[in-house]
Amino acid sequence: MAQIREIKKRIGAVGTIARITKTMQMIATAKFTAAGQRASASKPYAGMIDEMVRQVATKAEEYSSILIDGPVEKTGKELLLVIASDRGLCGAYNANVLRLALGETRRDDVDTGIEVAGKKGMGFFRFQKIEVLQQHAIGDTPAYEDVEAIANKYLERYMSGEFDAIKVCSMRYYSTSRQAAEVTQLLPLAMPEGEDAPKAKSGEAEPVYEFTPSAGELLDELLPTTVRTLLFQLFNEAAVAEHVMRMIAMKAATENAKEFGRTLKRDFNRARQGMITTELMEVISGAAALE
């Protein structure tokens, strides 16, 4: 009897877990849809800025900028922004990003400073006893104004020569079935060269542009905008990847809970049948003893 009561309690607990994970899956699905729409809406702007920089760069052959060439005097210091999540239950999202970031901090050829966006990242580096220079509170719905403020500080610190390079370790979103943790170099920017340079399509004449003001002056304005746009896109992709990985993790948890619930029900039925059989045997044995 005690075994049956214990199984019934476990069936109830597993059912509750399945309902919770199902609800979390539905919430993650809704957030994933919204985050995906935000990321898709920002891609045309980011793509157009990138295309403008590439076109102008081809006409500014003598152009030189610290944002492209890097600082003249190297300090041997780099800054790494790690984008993690504020909440868990999102599969291997944080584990993959933080593992990659930890590898970057252990490089011997450079002194890497760490900044973190996300509570899970902050907790991880505290456990590893690694100093975090600053924690940013962006959340899972990045606002351009907040990301722009971070990018402006990075530009200011980089231009002052505090760091040789600024990188971002985050989860990149490619599709619902593929997300990958990557380190993206924010500064200095990589200019198109060789095969990456813009070219006219086959059978089309190469476009000819006249720039007013000059190409150099345009790049002075476009390059900082490119940095801000790239950082915003990285935050958006990280948010999309977080939601889709949580959605997948909660779906798997719900299915596992339901499967375990079915196993418990079979155990419950067997235990009840065993108890009924035992009681019947006792009744039969008692009746036989009276004969």
Please say if the pLDDT value at position 194 is more than 80. no
Please say whether the beta carbons of 191 and 57 come within 8 A: yes
pLDDT band for 200, please (50, 70, 90 cuts). Answer: very low
Q: Which residue has the higher pLDDT, 288 or 120?
A: 120
pLDDT mean over 265-286: 87
pLDDT band for 1, please (50, 70, 90 cuts). Answer: low
- pLDDT tens digits, residue range 55-64? 777 776 677 8
pLDDT mean over 267-275: 89
Ranges of H-type helices in 59-211:
66-69, 93-105, 119-127, 144-159
Please say if the pLDDT value at position 156 is more than 90. yes
- pLDDT tens digits, residue range 113-133? 999 999 999 999 999 999 999
Residues 6+ apart with CB under 8 A from 104: 80, 112, 167, 169, 183
- pLDDT tens digits, residue range 25-56? 999 999 999 999 988 888 888 888 888 787 77
Please say if the pLDDT value at position 204 is more than 80. no
pLDDT of residue 197: 47
Q: Which residues pair with 82 in a beta bridge?
A: 116, 169
Cα angle: 82, vertex 84, 89; to 5 degrees: 160
Please say if the pLDDT value at position 196 is more than 60. no
Residues 6+ apart with CB under 8 A from 173: 39, 179, 237, 238, 240, 241, 244
Domains of the chain, CATH where assigned: 26-247 (3.40.1380.10)
pLDDT of residue 265: 93
Percent of the chain predicted with pLDDT > 70: 91
Q: Which residue has the higher pLDDT, 217 or 258?
A: 258
Please say if the pLDDT value at position 224 is more than 70. yes
Please say if the pLDDT value at position 284 is more than 80. yes
Its pTM stands at 0.84
Please say whether the beta carbons of 215 and 63 come within 8 A: yes
Q: From residue 214, give the alpha-carbon distance in Å to each of 21, 53, 188, 207.
A: 57, 13, 22, 17
Report how far apart the first and last C-alpha atoms of the chain are (Å, whole number): 30
Please say if the pLDDT value at position 190 is more than 60. yes
